[in-house]
Amino acid sequence: MKHKLKAALLVSALLGVGMQAPVEAATAKRSEQQTAKKVASKGAHKAPLAAKSGSKHAAKSAAKAAPTKKAAAPSRHAGKVAAAHSAAKPIRHASMMDMDPTRLALYSASALVIDQNTGQAMIEKQPDLVVPIASISKLMTAMVVLDAKLDLQEVIAIGDADVDGLKGTRSRLPVGTTMTREAAMLLALMSSENRAANSLGRHYPGGLHAFVQAMNKKAQALGMYNSRFEEPTGLSSNNVSTAHDLARMVAAAARYPEIRQYSTTAEAKVELNGRIRDFHNTNALVRSDNWEIGVSKTGYISEAGRCLVMQARVADKPVVIVLLDSNGKMTRVGDANRIKRWMESAGLGTGRRPA
C-alpha cells in the first residue's frame, strides 16, 4: 500500500512539473514581447533626436523603424521642433580663460602682456629674464627730464660728447645742431635719435653722471629692482631690465602726456639749423588704423635684439605689451599683431563676456 502511495505522489509531482514548464515558458515569452515593445517605443522616440544630431547612420535607422510614410511624418515634425529649439539656444562667446596662451606662437625671446584693469599677466614668456633693453631706455630718459621740470623751450646743442663711440651709429643731427629740449625729446622718442637723448642727459643739472643716477633712482621708485641704467641712449648693453620691470616703466610713462604724444607721433617736420627735416616713427604700428597706441618705443643693438614696448588698447582693454630680443626685423611687429588677434578672438569686445 505504501509503495502504491509513493508511486501516486511521484506521478503527481511529475505532472506538476510538466504543467509548470509551459506556464513559465509562456510567462517568459510575454516578458520578452513586452521588453521588445518598450525598446521599439524608445527607438521611435529617439528617432527625432538622431535627426537633430545630423548622424546619417541614425537617420537611416529611424527610417527603417518607421513602418509607413504616415508614421514617419511625426518624426519630421519633431525634427523641425528640435532644430528650432537648437537655433534658439544662446551662443556662448569664448572668454580669455578659454584661450590657451601657450598655443600662441611668439618669436620674441621674452614677452609679457599685462591687463592694466586688473594688473594680471595675460601672456608670459621668460618675463624675469634680465637682458639688455637698447633704446627702450629712452622712456626712462624722458621721464627723468620731465620729473626735473626743465624748460622744454630752452635751446640745447649737439656736442662731440653726444657722438656714438660705442656702436658707431649714424645720426641726422650733426655736431653743432641746436634745438629746443622739446624737439630733442620728440626725436629721441619718435625716431630714437641717440644724439638727442644723450644731449638731454648732458644738459641735466649736474651733468650726465647726475642724470644716470636719477635714472636708477627712478627705476627703484617704480619697483624695477632688476634694472640698471648706465647711460641715456640704450647703446650700452649694460642698460638691462626684465619684461616685468619694463611693464612697470611703460605704465608709468603712459602717465606723462608729453611721452604719450611724442612717442606715438607718426612723423614730424623739425627745423634744424634753419632747414626743415622730416622724421618718422621707428614703430610702423603707430601709422596703422588697426591699432590704438598710447605709448610706443622700439630698440635695437646686437646684444638686445629687436625690442618693442607699447601701452595700447586691444579688444577694448588697456594693456602693456613688452617684446624683447626678437629675431628678424619684422618679428616684433608680427608678435604684436599675433597678440592682438589672439585677444580679439577671445571675445573681449564691448558687450561680450568679461575675462
DSSP for 18-79? HHHHHHHHHHHHHHHHHHHHHHHHHHHHHHHHHHHHT-HHHHHHHHHH-SSHHHHHHHHHHH
Whether the full predicted model's pTM is greater than 0.85, yes or no, is: no
Condensed to tens digits (0 to 9), the pLDDT of residues 64-118 reads 444 444 444 444 444 443 333 344 444 333 344 444 555 688 999 999 999 999 9
Which segments of the chain belong to CATH 3.40.710.10? 99-345
Which stretch of DSSP H or E encloses residue 81?
Answer: helix 69-88
Below-70 pLDDT ranges, the chain:
1-103, 347-355
In 3D space, the residue among 233, 289, 287, 290 whose CA is nearest the CA of residue 264 turns out to be: 287
In 3D space, the residue among 235, 237, 221 whose CA is nearest the CA of residue 143 turns out to be: 221
Contact status, residue 318 vs residue 60, Cβ threshold 8 Å: no
299 three-class SS: strand
Given 75, 108, 110, 135, the catalytic residue: 135
Which stretch of DSSP H or E encloses residue 256?
Answer: none
Contact status, residue 177 vs residue 190, Cβ threshold 8 Å: no
Q: What is the pLDDT of residue 123?
A: 95
DSSP 126-167: STT--EE-GGGHHHHHHHHHHHTT--TTSEEE--GGGS-SSS
Phi, psi dihedral angles at 300 (to 5 degrees)? -160, 125
Given 125, 138, 317, 340, the catalytic residue: 138
In the residue annotation, 302 being an active-site residue is answered as no
Residues present in the chain in total: 355
CA distance linking residue 142 with residue 229, whole number of Å:
13
Q: What is the pLDDT of residue 75?
A: 44
Phi, psi dihedral angles at 245 (to 5 degrees)? -65, -40
In the residue annotation, 138 being an active-site residue is answered as yes
Q: How far is CA 145 from CA 162, 190, 197, 200, in A?
A: 17, 16, 10, 7
Q: What is the pLDDT of residue 108?
A: 96
Q: What is the pLDDT of residue 328?
A: 83
Q: What is the pLDDT of residue 61?
A: 41
In the residue annotation, 75 being an active-site residue is answered as no
Q: What is the pLDDT of residue 230?
A: 98
CA distance linking residue 333 with residue 218, whole number of Å:
29
- The maximal CA–CA distance of the chain, rounded, in angstroms, is 149
Q: What is the pLDDT of residue 104?
A: 84
Q: Please give the CATH number for the structural domain made up of 99-345.
A: 3.40.710.10
Distance of CA 344 to the CA centre of its chain: 8
Given 110, 137, 192, 236, the catalytic residue: 192
CA distance linking residue 130 with residue 183, whole number of Å:
32
Q: What is the pLDDT of residue 34?
A: 52
